[in-house]
Amino acid sequence: MSKKIVVKVSIFCEKCKTLTLKTVAKLEGIESLNLDAEKGTLTVIGSVDPVCIISALKKKKRPAQIESVGPKEEKKEDEKKKECEEACKKFMECCRSCRGMPYGPPVILYEEPYYGCTIM
């Protein structure tokens, strides 16, 4: 079960950022990492235990604190499904109007008259 974990971390320079990401990336069960240096937050999505994240960071002398733990947001997938369903509805409306005709829309063939060979 994936969950979204937000951890408050002190970030002062690029070395702090790199060390934090390397330390957390080694843990098992992580799907994605996102570090916002301006806010000082590390967002981890996966099935990893939040306490393991904090203890791993403290071993590397990176003070950290759990800010929030919650379910993984799946808004993007829901939006994609809605868009797909809307497109399918438009397609089905077209097909329903075509269903009234037994063999599809009528096709009109036009043949030009043949006057024979013009070379002779």
Find the helix or strand (DSSP H, E) in which 6 lies: strand 3-9
Position 60 in a domain? yes
Do the beta carbons of residue 36 and residue 104 sit within 8 Å? no
Between 109 and 38, where is the model more confident? 38
> Mean of the per-residue pLDDT values for the chain?
79
Position 107 in a domain? no
Position 104 in a domain? no
Do the beta carbons of residue 42 and residue 6 sit within 8 Å? yes
Position 20 in a domain? yes
* Residue 99: band (very low, low, confident or very high) from pLDDT cuts 50, 70, 90: low
Position 7 in a domain? yes
Do the beta carbons of residue 9 and residue 42 sit within 8 Å? yes
Position 93 in a domain? no
Residue 36 domain boundaries? 3-71
Position 92 in a domain? no
- In the chain, the percentage of residues whose pLDDT exceeds 90 is 20
Domain count, the chain: 1
CATH number for the domain harbouring residue 50: 3.30.70.100
pLDDT digits (tens, 9 = 90+) for 26-41: 999 899 999 988 898 9
